[in-house]
Structure 1
Amino acid sequence: ENELLAFKHMKSAAEAGMGLAQHGLGFMYMQGECVEQNAAKALEWFSRAAEQGLQGAMTTIGMMYREGNGVERDEDKAREWFRKAGFDDL
């Protein structure tokens, strides 16, 4: 019951446009925490947070592409996301 409540609050804040909540909701979907694991939804929420300039979300997306975690492995996309996050030397 507490997990469902946590998910509802996180989703509500994410839908209201809060970047940290969007990032947190992305992790909930990525890890299958309080909700069924869903890499596509994780990427969607990380992307929304990244659009708001959240560096952590950009880094997470880069790691997803580098590791092929929920997406097709793509070093070029990984480097692109790491650069967006401010890591020019990766």
Structure 2
Amino acid sequence: MQPFDNIVANSKVRGHLHRKEMVMFERLRRTITQRIAELENGSLFNLRDLLGDERPDGQGAARQLGRDFRANLHDFPDVADEGRDGENLRWYRKA
């Protein structure tokens, strides 16, 4: 295998994993929406605490879920991105 072939093969694998993780976001979308609705206005939250035991295992899957949530934040108009804290955990605020 040539070096270029390896890059193409790896990109295909990464693309497949992203689709798989996006399915996870879609599967959890209803749960995320319900849990956000239960929060009081002005509440700060992060996905780790919001999902609890339903959060995916593994750092890679959890990170991708966070990326997908942030990429779809426009679907959650009452949620604002508050940035990351000192431990690199992203926080959100329910408006």
| TM-score normalised by the chain length of structure 2 | 0.30
Instruction: Point out the structure with the larger helix share.
Output: 1
* Larger RCO (CA within 8 A; separation ≥ 6): 2
Which protein shows a greater Rg?
A: 2
Which of the pair is proportionally richer in strand? 2
- TM-score (normalizing by structure 1): 0.31
